[in-house]
Amino acid sequence: MVLRTVFKRSYTDSSSVIRNLKNPKLFQTQGLINGNWVDSDNAVTFDVSNPASYPNDASFIGKVHSMSPQQYNSAIDSAHEAFKSFKKSTGDERSELLRNLYHLMMDNQDDLAKIIVLENGKPYNDALGEVKYAASFFKWFADLATTTTGNVINSSTNSKKILSIKQPIGVCGIMTPWNFPAAMITRKLGAYVAAGCTGVIKPASETPLTALALGYLQQEAGFPAGVVNILPSKNAAEAGELLCSNPKVKKISFTGSTNVGKLLMKQSSSTLKKLSFELGGNAPFIVFEDADIDSAVDGAIASKFRSSGQTCVCANRLFIHESIYDEFSQKFVSKLKETTTLGDGLQSGVTHGPVIHDRSMKKVRQHIEDATGKGAKVLLGGNPREDLGENFHELTVLGDATTDMMIFEEETFGPVCPLFKFKTEDEVLRLANDTEVGLAGYFYSKDVSRIFRVAEELEVGMVGINTGAISEASLPFGGIKESGFGREGSIYGVEDYTVVKSMVLGI
> 172, 197, 312, 314: which one is catalytic?
312
Phi, psi dihedrals of residue 375, rounded to the nearest 5° = 110, -5
Question: What residues pair up with 160 in beta bridges, in sequence order?
Answer: 506
Element (H, E) at 18: helix 14-19
Please report which residue ranges of 35-108 form alpha helices under DSSP H: 69-86, 91-107
Q: Is 312 an annotated catalytic residue?
A: yes
Are 142 and 194 in contact, with CB atoms under 8 Å apart? yes
Distance CA 374, CA 476 (A): 39
Nearest to 212 by CA among 87, 63, 318, 365: 63
User: Would you say the C-alpha torsion 112, 116, 117, 119 has a positive or negative sign?
Assistant: positive
From the candidates 206, 278, 390, 411, give the one annotated as an active-site residue. Answer: 278
Cβ atoms of 122 and 130 within 8 Å: the answer is yes
Closest CA to 132 of 151, 105, 170, 163: 105
CA angle, 341 then 343 then 348, to 5°: 75
What residue type is assigned to position 339 of the chain?
T
Q: Residue 247: helix, strand or coil by DSSP?
A: coil
User: SS3 for 125-185, per residue?
Assistant: HHHHHHHHHHHHHHHHHHHHCCCCCCEEECCCCCCEEEEEEEEECCEEEEECCCCCCCHHH
Indicate the DSSP class of residue 67.
P
Burial of 296 (0-12, 13-18, 19+ CB in 10 A): buried
Query: Distance between CA 22 and CA 477 in Å, rounded?
Result: 33
Q: Is 420:317 a contact under the CB 8 Å cutoff?
A: yes
Strands 437-438 and 416-422: unpaired
The residue type at 449: S
d(CA 363, CA 182): 25
Q: Which are the contacts of 319, defined by CB distance < 8 A and separation ≥ 6?
A: 284, 285, 286, 287, 420, 421, 422, 428, 431, 432
Whole-angstrom Cα distance, residue 143 to residue 352? 35
Q: How far apart are CA 194 and CA 489, in angstroms?
A: 12
The residues annotated as belonging to the active site are: 278, 312
